[in-house]
Amino acid sequence: MTTQPGHRRERGYSQRLRRMREQGAKPLPGRDGTPTHRNDGTGISIDCGWGNLHFAQTFESLNALAERMRKEGPGRRDIAFYVREPHVALAAAPQELFLDPSHTYRLELSTYRSSRRKLQGFTVRRMTNEEDAEAVNRIYAARHMVTVRPDFFWHRKDRALVYLIAEDNATGAVVGTVTGVDHMRAIDDPERGASLWCLAVDPQARHPGIGEALVRRLAEVFQARGNAYLDLSVLHDNEQAIALYEKLGFFQIPVYALKRKNPINERLFAGPRPETDLNPYARIIVDEARRRGIDVSVIDADGGFFRLTYGGRSVLCRESLSEMTSAVAMSICDDKAVTRRAVERADIRVPAEMETASADDVADFLAEHGKIVIKPARGEQGRGVAVGLTAEDDVAGAIERAKQISDRVLVEEFVEGDDLRLIVIDYRLVAAAVRRPARIVGDGKSTARELIERLSRRRAAATGGESQIPLDSETERALREAGYTLDDVVEDGQEVPVRRTANLHTGGTIHDVTDHVHPTLVEAAVKAARAIEIPVVGIDLLVKSHLKPDYVFIEANERPGLANHEPQPTAERFVDLLFPLSIPHAARQAKRTEPEEPCPA
């Protein structure tokens, strides 16, 4: 049986701590002489930015460990690791601490062998500057992890901490990150251990194998330093991560962690959620309601229907569509031609458009505009939409497919640009994101079909099954325009668009630009929402750039997916709208001082 770290060296640590108390406790210095770790004579902790990592085996008593954990700061997520007797530690503060429902896995570095496989499309390197730090925080936020003050990463001189990132070779974007802690440098560990924390991959990343490459590189760093093993903690139900670690040679050991009960950790100790099969768009709202003490009654989990009750008020919802959206507003959004007329009357710019019954009706319109868009007058999630059509044969086929969704078909001029989704709640901008169509990256060995299937699996895993790339005529047309068929091998490093629409449900990716969107675009979205008189809406614009004022209106979605825009507070603002009295008092006071119109800057 594997010996738990801390068992055979606990006496040595106790003797060392007694000597420190007798001599006057001081922080342990880093290799450069800078004090780096907290050590008040009772035990050793290291600040990792997101919280303190408490080395439980160094504490003189479990009561001392519990007392240290009580001092956790706001917005932090402290972890006590290597807790020898977690049941006894919990007894020291049963209302404040809980046993983390995670497994600990170990990799023996003496037997670990590096992979000879070449990285495809990305590079793993050390974090070097503040831009890297900000990109890592973006990934943390997208993965619901605690963000870190950016200057902490690159000003800190603590050589016990190792920060690695993965960088996309084509775009230069940071697409993954991992943190390592060297126990020899952190606690003068006689077992020469190390640990892995905060492995995270951008959910929009195009390349497979990023997580594996980060773990392997970190193992190589510690192997070169002479560390004996690499430990990590992983949630017991994270099957995908556990499969990766076991593939790399990690094995489970009987080591435990304690955490403090706080809002960040709530889902780990609050018990099971109601109706766990709710989709992500309903789940994000239900979770926010539960956090505020609002009663949740799930009506139809498959359809995303639930009722929220607070005090004497009760509201029926279907995801982000509630009783506060009138039937008239919903019918306006349901018919794209009616939506267009409503916003056009409010001086919102719209593309040229016509309604058609056959391909013959479109000939003059196609000749005038060169490229066109075919879409059903009614429909959602990009179904039946064909973009950038130039050939009459493609037009005829697109019209027939659109008719399968709606008996009325619309034809629009094609406008080059990015697809910008703006979430407007209570006539204020809450989130803005550029949506991009799905693209595959060739490896010189796989066919387009195989690459699409792999990317589709990754997109489904990243979105709870909501995003997948269909192998249909639109996918084949996108490939054909790039010079490929489904069975052609795509050249190594070659990027190929496989959809023309950027809908998330057909594999599109979404990139938050809330803090940078041009004020004119915000104004247009709010004006469109007011024209429709709808309190919660997703406004779609085509823009040359989200930093510039040029746009044309595309459509309005009466049931936008709020979960697609995390970490922006979409669910919070939605629940604010439904139950203003559930807003904390201080936040209500601040809201009263806000201007009536949103401040787009």
Question: Rounded to an integer, what distance in angstroms lies between the CA atom of residue 443 and that of residue 438?
Answer: 17
The identity of residue 586, as a single letter, is: A
Q: What is the pLDDT of residue 590?
A: 53
- DSSP-assigned states of every residue in 530-584: HHHT-SEEEEEEEES-TTSS-EEEEEEESS--GGGGTTS-HHHHHHHHH-GGGS-
Separation of alpha carbons 374 and 501, rounded Å: 11
CA 29 vs. chain centroid, Å, equals 36
The whole-angstrom separation of Cα 547 and Cα 544 is: 8
The predicted pLDDT at position 199 comes to 95
Q: Are strands 102-108 and 161-168 parallel, antiparallel or unpaired?
A: unpaired
Specify the DSSP element, H or E, that contains 454: helix 448-462
Query: Is 53 in contact with 45 (CB distance < 8 Å)?
Result: yes
Whole-angstrom Cα distance, residue 48 to residue 291?
27
CB-count burial class (<10 Å; 0-12, 13-18, 19+) for 41? middle
Q: Which residues of the chain fall short of a pLDDT of 70?
A: 1-41, 154-158, 270-276, 357-359, 381-382, 464, 584-601
Q: What is the largest CA-CA distance in the chain?
A: 94
Residues sharing a CB contact under 8 Å with residue 398, sequence separation 6 or more, in sequence order: 374, 386, 389
> Please, are residues 409 and 356 in contact by the beta-carbon 8 Å criterion?
yes
CA–CA separation, 554 vs 537, rounded Å?
A: 13
CB 91 within 8 A of CB 100: no
d(CA 315, CA 294): 11
Residue with tokens 């139809």: 300
66 with 214: CB under 8 angstroms? no
339, two tokens: 């939506």
Q: What are phi and psi of 447, to 5 degrees?
A: -75, 165
Amino acid found at 255 = V
What are the tokens at 308?
């929220």
Note the CATH number of domain 106-249.
3.40.630.30
The H or E element that residue 14 is part of is: helix 10-23
Give residue 106's region: left, alpha or beta (phi > 0; psi -120 to 50): beta
- With vertex at residue 22, the alpha carbon angle to CA 21 and CA 25, rounded to the nearest 5 degrees, is 35
- The domain spans of the chain are 10-100, 106-249, 274-351+417-437+500-601
What is the DSSP track for 197-256? Answer: EEEEE-TT--SS-HHHHHHHHHHHHHHHHT--EEEEEEETT-HHHHHHHHHTT-EEES--
Cis bond upstream, residue 567 (ω within 30): yes
Among 373, 380, 376, 398, which Cα is nearest to 472's? 398
Strand order across the 193-201 sheet = 122-126, 161-168, 174-182, 193-201, 229-235, 102-108, 251-253
In the block, tokens 């990009």 appear at 382
Residue closest to 96 by CA, chosen among 54, 67, 64: 67
95 sits in the region (left: phi over 0; alpha: psi -120 to 50; else beta) called alpha
Residue 148's CB: how many other CB atoms inside 10 A?
A: 19
Q: What 3-state DSSP class applies to 373?
A: strand
Concatenated DSSP letters of 470-492: --SHHHHHHHHHTT--TTSBPPT
Instruction: CATH number for 274-351+417-437+500-601: choose from 2.30.29.30, 3.40.50.2300, 3.40.50.10360, 3.30.470.20.
Output: 3.30.470.20
Beta strand spans in 82-225 (E) = 97-99, 102-108, 122-126, 161-168, 174-182, 193-201
Fold agreement (106-249, 274-351+417-437+500-601): no
Residue whose structure tokens are 């060392």: 16
Quickly count: other Cβ atoms within 10 Å of residue 263's Cβ: 9
- 186 sits in which H/E element: helix 183-187
Q: Which residues pair with 433 in a beta bridge?
A: 421, 512
- pLDDT given for residue 516 in this prediction: 92
Structural tokens at position 222: 């510690």
Preceding omega of 101 cis (within 30 degrees of 0):
no
Helix (H) or strand (E) holding 425: strand 418-425
CB atoms within 10 A of CB 434: 19
Q: How many CB atoms lie within 10 A of CB 127?
A: 19
Nearest to 43 by CA among 53, 34, 35: 53
Amino acid sitting at position 367: A
Beta-carbon-side half-sphere exposure of residue 420 (alpha carbons within 13 Å): 32
